[in-house]
Amino acid sequence: MAAMSGTVRVLVVDDDALVRAGLSLMLDGADGIVVVGEADDGDAVPAALDAHPADVVLMDIRMPRVNGITATRRVRARPSAPEVIVLTTFDSDENVLHALRAGASGFLLKDSLPARIAEAVRAVAAGEPILSPGITRRLMERAATEAGAHERARAALAELSAREHEVAVAIGQGRTNAEIAAHLHLSIATVKAHITRVLTKLGVGNRTQVALLVHDAGLC
């Protein structure tokens, strides 16, 4: 949830001091964003968040003591959990899918343009996942090949009402709240209420995990 002032508070987590410094310097200069803290490994994230509450965590995947997947899972289990964007050097990183399943709201390549990173931070703070279409397609295909994923996803989605199912599929298609509202002829407030119920019934923490289930089920 974005800060009440409208400023998005960011915690930068990376074991490379130069990367941390670069991200912090770049984001602190972006409109509506402030970097409130840094951490050099996943095991330092809880203390950093206790000292500096954040709305979004930029999380490196590969760190020596506690990796970004485990750290993301721990972050998302916190009360009033911040959103997480995982950072990776290569779009083929096999750990990205696991990070998304751990509750990350999206991922970025470390060489993304500064404006893209700032845009992603603002979007995720507003509840919109950031997923590169080309890379995400490959991740979804890999997710669908996991043993039993198709059956488990189908069973989970069967617990939704007809309208909730439509909303879930629309999330899987990458539609924003406004696009879902227009597509299903609903108000944005009603869409948000449906999304809250979908998250609760599916037992997931964010829209990205809903999208993964929808793709696992073969509905997109």
Based on DSSP, count helices (H) and strands (E) in the chain, helices before strands. 11, 5
Q: What does the DSSP 8-state code read for residue 23?
A: H
* 3-state per-residue secondary structure call for 149-182: HHHHHHHHHCCCCHHHHHHHHHHHCCCCHHHHHH
Report in angstroms the alpha-carbon separations of 195 from 18, 80, 190. Answer: 39, 17, 9
Tell me the domain boundaries of the chain.
8-130, 146-216
Q: Which fold has domain 146-216?
A: Arc Repressor Mutant, subunit A (1.10.10)
Output the pLDDT for position 39: 96
Residue 81 CA, distance from chain mean position = 12
Write out the two tokens for 38.
């840094």
* Phi, psi dihedrals of residue 198, rounded to the nearest 5°: -60, -45
Output the pLDDT for position 140: 57
Task: Give, rounded to a whole angstrom, the gap between the first and last alpha carbons of the chain.
Answer: 28
Output the pLDDT for position 40: 96
Q: Lay out the sheet containing 8-13: strands in order across.
A: 33-39, 8-13, 56-60, 83-88, 106-109
Q: Which fold has domain 8-130?
A: Rossmann fold (3.40.50)
Output the pLDDT for position 74: 93
Output the pLDDT for position 91: 60
Output the pLDDT for position 2: 46
- pLDDT tens digits for the chain (220 residues)? 444 457 999 999 999 999 999 999 999 888 899 999 999 999 999 999 999 999 999 999 989 999 999 999 999 989 888 999 998 876 655 677 778 788 888 888 888 888 889 998 998 898 777 765 555 555 556 655 555 777 888 899 999 999 999 999 998 888 888 999 999 999 999 999 999 999 999 988 888 888 888 888 888 7
Spatial separation of the C-alpha atoms in residues 30 and 115, rounded to whole Å: 8
Output the pLDDT for position 3: 45
Spatial separation of the C-alpha atoms in residues 117 and 129, rounded to whole Å: 13
